[in-house]
Amino acid sequence: MNRHIDLALIGGTGLYRFPGLEAAERHAIDTPYGHPSDSIVVGRLGDRRVAFLARHGESHTIPPHRVNYRANVWALHHLGARRVIGVNAVGGIRADMGPRVVALPDQIIDYTSERLTSFCDVAGAEVRHIDFSEPYTAALRRDLLAAAARAGVAVVDGGCYGATQGPRLETRAEIARMRRDGCDLVGMTGMPEAALARELELDYACIALVANWAAGCGDEAEISLPEIFANLEAATAMVPRIVIALLGA
C-alpha cells in the first residue's frame, strides 16, 4: 500500500472522528502485531491526504493499558504516514496547565508497566537502541506552534508529560511525586506510542488537551467526570483549527 499521507492523527479521549475529511475511506488493517484500535480513516483536507485513528476505538472501548500501540503505529506507517500527531487528554500539574489548556509538551517520563514497548519484542527482530533524549520531533513541534499562532489558538510551548498506567486516576501522593520529578502534565497514553514512532523513524509530536487538574493541584475536592468531558469538548474543538493551519488546507 504505502501511498503518501501528509499527516496522521491518533485521537484520544473525546476525539473519535476527525471533522471535515472528504472522500474518506476506511482501512481495516491486520498487522504483524495484531489489530489496531479501529479502522483507519483516510481522507482529504483540501489537497492534503490525512489519516485518522481513534486510539481507544470509535466507541471508546479500549482502556489505556490495553491499547495495541504497536499495531496502531505500524498500521499508520504501513499506510504511508511519515508525520504523526498524538492527541492526548491529560491532567494539569503545573500552574499554567489548567483545564481547557492546549499544550505541546517537549519531554516525557514513563511510569507505565507491563506494556509492549518496542517492535524489538518479537523473536528475530532487529534490536534498535533509539536516541530518545528528545522524545518529540523538534521540527514538527515548531510547525505546530506556528500553525497554532496562524489559527489564533493559544498553546503552551513545552512541558513534561508523565505517562501513567491507568485506567484509574492518580493519588495525590503520586501527583506530588510526579511534580517533584518535573512533570507538568499527566496522562495515560503518551507511552509507548512516542517511542514506537521513533523506532519507525516517524516524525511525532503530541497535542495535549488538559481535561482537569491532577489530584491535589486544583481547588476541587474531587475530580468531576462531567466537568472533564466539558473541558475536553472545549479543548478538542481547537485541534482541527491547528491541523488545518498546519496543512495549509
Which CATH number does the domain housing residue 171 bear? Answer: 3.40.50.1580
Q: Which three cell numbers, joined as nine digits, stand for 243?
A: 491541523
Question: pLDDT tens across 56-74, in order?
Answer: 999 999 999 999 999 999 9
> What pLDDT band is residue 249 in, cutting at 50, 70 and 90?
low
Contact indicator for 132, 198 with CB cutoff of 8 Å: yes
| pLDDT score, position 221 | 61
Over range 27-32, report the average pLDDT.
95
List, as residue ranges, the binding site for substrate. 188, 212-214
| pLDDT score, position 69 | 98
Pairing of strands 102-104, 203-213: antiparallel
Inside any domain, residue 139 = yes
Contacts 24+ apart (CB under 8 A), 45-48: 45/20, 45/21, 45/243, 45/244, 45/247, 45/249, 46/244, 46/247, 46/248, 46/249, 47/249, 48/6, 48/7, 48/247, 48/248, 48/249
Inside any domain, residue 2 = no
Provide the 10 A C-beta neighbour count for residue 168. 9
| pLDDT score, position 219 | 76
Provide the 10 A C-beta neighbour count for residue 184. 24
Question: Cis link prior to 167 (omega < 30° from 0)?
Answer: yes
List, as residue ranges, the binding site. 13, 55-56, 188-189, 212-214
Over range 164-192, report the average pLDDT.
97
As a whole number of angstroms, the distance between CA 14 and CA 16 comes to 6
By the 10 Å C-beta count (0-12 exposed, 13-18 middle, 19+ buried), 131 is classed as exposed
Inside any domain, residue 15 = yes
Give the distance from CA 187 to its chain's centroid. Answer: 10
Kindly report the CA angle at 68 between 65 and 74, in degrees rounded to 5? 145
Residue 59 phi, psi (nearest 5): -105, 10
Per-chain mean pLDDT for the chain: 94
Question: pLDDT tens across 75-115, in order?
Answer: 999 999 999 999 999 999 999 999 999 999 999 999 999 99
Question: Cis link prior to 192 (omega < 30° from 0)?
Answer: yes
As a whole number of angstroms, the distance between CA 14 and CA 238 comes to 12
Question: pLDDT tens across 112-168, in order?
Answer: 999 999 998 877 778 889 999 999 999 999 999 999 999 999 999 999 999 999 999
Inside any domain, residue 221 = yes
Structural domain boundaries enclosing 136? 7-119+129-247
How many domains, the chain?
1
pLDDT higher than threshold 70 for residue 2? no
Inside any domain, residue 124 = no
List, as residue ranges, the binding site for phosphate. 13, 55-56, 189
Inside any domain, residue 24 = yes
- Percentage of the residues of the chain whose pLDDT score is greater than 70: 97
| pLDDT score, position 53 | 98
| pLDDT score, position 4 | 84
| pLDDT score, position 102 | 98
Inside any domain, residue 59 = yes
Inside any domain, residue 223 = yes
| pLDDT score, position 220 | 65
